[in-house]
Amino acid sequence: METPEKKLNNKTYKIIVAVLALIIIVLTWQLIVTKTTVHTFTIEKEKAQTQNSALQHELDSLLTEHDKIKKEYGNLSGQLSEKDSIILSKADEIQKLIATQADYYKIKRKLEYLRGITQGYVSQIDSLYTVNRALKNENVEIKDKFEKEQVKTTELTKDKENLSEKVSLASTLKAYNIKGVPVRLKSGGKAEIRLFIYVLPALMKKF
């Protein structure tokens, strides 16, 4: 038969074992929760990094395309300097949001808005290019017509001068050495005078 002291020791032992078991269970549960939290945090962090990389790539692509358009169209881009400033300002704002790992969907919306602005920029600059090219072609056509008219005017002026010179020369010519030669007609006895006009060969050469 167990003594009261032995019974107390057994009871105390059982209590200690139960407490230790409870502590082990709690620690195990906390360890599992911690591991799950760490794993979730790691996944979320990797996901955020992947999203940020994708956002950064999208922003870089938009800016690269924008710079390409500016270089391609040259001085025409200067006519849209205000819109160009807006694009760069929005891009800088998005860059800061990416750097601070702000809300993905917020950055995504801003990127879509920026894409719309850049597309409008391309459309406007393309329209300017088309208009300028049409004006340039029209100016070339007008210039060609003007040059042709100048050539015609020059030729007409020369023809007029040549004609005036001939008319002036003709007015200075005089008929001389007029000789009358009597000719008898077969049908009658009347005579008519046939005039022969001799003009110096030197004068004739002036024509």
Digit-by-digit pLDDT tens for the chain (207 residues) are 556 666 667 778 888 888 888 999 999 998 888 888 888 888 888 888 888 888 899 999 988 888 888 887 766 666 677 788 888 889 999 999 988 888 888 989 999 999 888 888 888 887 877 777 777 777 777 877 777 878 888 878 887 777 777 766 666 655 444 454 554 545 554 444 444 444 444 444 444
**Does 104 share its domain with 133?**
yes
Residue-number span of the structural domain to which 122 is assigned: 4-165
The alpha helices in the chain, defined as continuous H runs, are: 4-73, 81-99, 104-172, 201-204
Is the same domain home to 192 and 157? no
Domain identity same for 113 and 187: no
Distances (CA, A) of 81 to 46, 75, 89, 177: 39, 10, 12, 89
Residue 194 and residue 117 share a domain: no
Helix 104-172, helix 81-99: angle, nearest 10:
160
Rounded to whole angstroms, how far apart are CA atoms 69 and 63?
A: 10
Residue 61 and residue 155 share a domain: yes
Considering the domain architecture, whether residues 146 and 191 belong to the same structural domain is answered as: no
Number of domains in the chain: 2
Whether 109 and 138 share a structural domain: yes
The pTM of this model reads: 0.47
Tokens 């024509």 identify what position? 207
